[in-house]
Structure 1
């Protein structure tokens, strides 16, 4: 019979406590004697199926969140934005906003990694601005007046304007989206 590592013992305990399988089935699954599993379970105080209720509650919560998301998607954009603001305010008041921000950041990173062209990146930028528009006052406008330019400077400026711009990397886009710094959606 095999000797289990600490990770394997933790997996065996999870099978027993979360799935609720018998000690005999745990022993078969991990290729050890039932007496070894029984000894370990007794010494560590394993309780068969103790996590099954928690698993059922988590499944129910995920289903409820999915149902709420479906209802939310049917609302007009302004209504969705206001709803999201209220949810964020309430979560922040309860001290839960940090974990929500981490989950949203993880999702933003996953979406940015899937972006294959500049249009995908622009879509991400627009989505971020629609979901969380800036609450800061708009930046003051700057006026630039050009009075005269030599031909050499004009040619160099034309070359600079017509040069192709390198596509941003997914990492830079994620950072810009999370910081709210992507531009091009100001209309």
Structure 2
């Protein structure tokens, strides 16, 4: 998404060429491939860990740090190695993200009109906020020392990085589509009209009785 914003702001005349269907496939395939490989390695390794402290997690999904707390074998070191591998992948994405937004910021600051700069910032800030929330809370979940860990904190942090960003993404990006905005206004208008009609009917019924 950062590359999409980079092309849209820094190279708008080449947007259709640089972000055609072929380019989207080339970007999606490595992302999906590495994500699938990463999850497969973690799943295979965590299911091979012997658990000697029960099998109940203080979490609403099988989060890796919570599973490692239940392990009583030295094989957890393999999972630590996989976590380092995941961290390298995340760091690579983070570097690409930062480089893209540095270029975007430089391009936005060169826009002469204040309205143009405001429009560019309004396009990028939602994406920047969601990604920053995901990265910061994910780092807290996986890098915080055990001394500051607590079940309630772990649960809140897990919700912030696993539930909130995927929920906000479609809302943020779809709200920039004019057709979806119009459809949402019509839906809200019909809903409000139905409520008004319901209350009007009940009021008339009360007056007649």
Larger relative contact order (CA 8 Å, sep ≥ 6): 2
Between structures 1 and 2, the one with greater helix share: 2
> Fold-level match, TM-score > 0.5?
no
How would you bin the TM-score normalised by the shorter chain? under 0.3
- Structure number with larger C-alpha Rg: 1
